[in-house]
Chains A and B, each alone.
With several copies, the nearest count.
Chain A
């Protein structure tokens, strides 16, 4: 869910998406090449991309339905500057292997997932500035929850803005705005579940492998 397929968006939006993603990726790669050893994190980012791809394919039964988590909040937290390159690569494989998204919408989808991911990352790190005990259990839980919920909520919001505004329709602006708000709010339960799941995951990672969450200074 939350992948825009081919054919829906007009070419200008697709090109715009590539422009945003291209710029973000270019900036990320430039930051990466400034590191002491820029190759060091390539295998890490690549395998984590694969792992996130695989993890998001797990269908989790929440009766009566089942959900897939998009985990972009966690992905931003774990990958930092590699988030955009990782989104590009991961979404490329999702598009060509299982038909989630598409080649023309790759740029749009990467921006739609990547920007909230980076915001979630900065948000999760902001607890270092805000608290004396940023790694207390409750701090990780609360901020993990919010990072996950923000990641999904923003992505869903962008998704509906793009789809509702660009699909040729006879609606007026007010109707469209109402539709976007309504559809995004309909994601509240999903945001809560994604947040809870992300918080659980972060607590687990913090306990077993803290490097994953805090290696950048």
Chain B
């Protein structure tokens, strides 16, 4: 439980603690703390440069920017798939060790087909709890709960492969929720959805309890779901603020080749 000096902590909530705060690790409400993060592939230009980011528990952070600005790479670093070339990442004050499984973070891939491979929806959802070594009853309970949360009960026995795009995505989400993650990363969740499935996803996310990070080109979607946003361009974070303040800033958006969404235009 090392506590990185550089990760800024807002109001550590150790009021109930009677010991001098200097010698205890303060329990914090920081979900993600990223300091000076850099990433590049050998002999290639930087994909991420000097990223500083702090996300508190319960935050809903939208990430906008063009393809290739580093959004997906940031997600892969956060869940330990890639190894940073420099900098540190902490989730709940514990450093991310590349390759180590952290059930508290779930990543939804852009194409749900990439994460569905079992022969039935319930087998697929049971995949993570089983790998976590839980008992059979616990696994079953989690599967049931994830099915209920996502409204997929009726599809439990179907092969995921036969479902529609929107259903596949909800099943993929259910498969992640069965890990009981505290942080959920959504990579372009609306790219292949029709308007009805998109609206269902918005309502689902508005009620979800996890800390959310959403990378999307669908700016209206981020406006409806997120309470904070960052704008990325060429490997860096170039603006931070509320979604409306960033996307409503016409100069800023045009500078980075984006467009003010219609709902914010006058």
Contacts and interface: CB of A to CB of B under 8 A. Distances in A.
Interface string A185-217: 000000000000000000010011100000000
Interface residues of B, number: 5
Mostly helix, strand, loop or mixed at chain B's interface? Answer: loop
Q: Main SS of chain A's interface residues?
A: helix
A43 interface: yes
Interface string A39-73: 00001000000000000000000000000000000
A207 B157 CA distance: 12
B198 interface: no
Interface in B130-159: 159
Interface in B203-231: none
Interface residues of A, number: 5
A138 B204 CA distance: 42
Interface string B159-186: 1011000000000000000000000000
A207 B121 CA distance: 13
A209 B117 CA distance: 13
A207 B119 contact: yes
Contacts of A43: 117
Contacts of A204: 119
Contacts of B117: 43
Nearest to A207: B119
Contacts of B119: 204, 207-208
A105 B241 CA distance: 64
Interface in B105-121: 117, 119
Interface string B14-55: 000000000000000000000000000000000000000000
Contacts of B162: 208
B49 to A, nearest CB: 27
Interface string B88-122: 00000000000000000000000000000101000
Nearest to A206: B119
Contacts of A208: 119, 159, 161-162
Nearest to B117: A43
Max chain A Cβ within 10 angstroms of own Cβ: one of B119, B159, B162: B119
Contacts of A207: 119, 159
A133 B203 CA distance: 47
9 contacts: A43-B117, A204-B119, A207-B119, A207-B159, A208-B119, A208-B159, A208-B161, A208-B162, A209-B161
Interface of A: 43, 204, 207-209
**CB-CB nearest 9 A-B residue pairs:** A208-B159, A208-B161, A204-B119, A207-B119, A207-B159, A208-B119, A209-B161, A43-B117, A208-B162
Interface of B: 117, 119, 159, 161-162
Given A208-B119, A209-B161, 7 more contacts: A43-B117, A204-B119, A207-B119, A207-B159, A208-B159, A208-B161, A208-B162
